[in-house]
Amino acid sequence: MLKYFSKRPFYNAVIHTVAGIGIGFLLTYTVAGIHPVRWGVAFLVIALLGHLQALR
C-alpha cells in the first residue's frame, strides 16, 4: 500500500484530506449542523474505500 500511495501523491493527499475532514466533523458539530455523525462517517467511509483501492 505504501508503494501505491508513493506513486500517486495527489491521490494520497485527497484520501488523507477526506479522512481528516471526517474526523473533524466527528469532533466539531457546528459545521455539519444537526447531522455531524452522518457527515463524519460518510467522509471516513470514502477515505476507507480509497485505502481499499490501494490494496487491489
pLDDT at 42: 93
Q: Which of 3-12, 15-24, 45-54 has the lowest mean pLDDT?
A: 3-12
Q: What is the pLDDT of residue 32?
A: 62
The Cα-based distances of 38 to 22, 25, 50 in angstroms read 10, 9, 18
**What pTM was computed for the model?**
0.78
Q: Which domain holds residue 43?
A: 2-55
Question: How many domains does one find in the chain?
Answer: 1
pLDDT at residue 48 in the model: 92
- Give the Cα-Cα-Cα angle 29, 34, 52 (nearest 5 degrees): 65
**Structural contact between residues 25 and 17, judged by C-beta atoms closer than 8 angstroms:** no
Cα–Cα distance measured from residue 55 to residue 37, given in angstroms and rounded to the nearest whole number: 27
- The pLDDT tens digits for 14-43 are 999 999 999 988 888 766 677 788 888 999
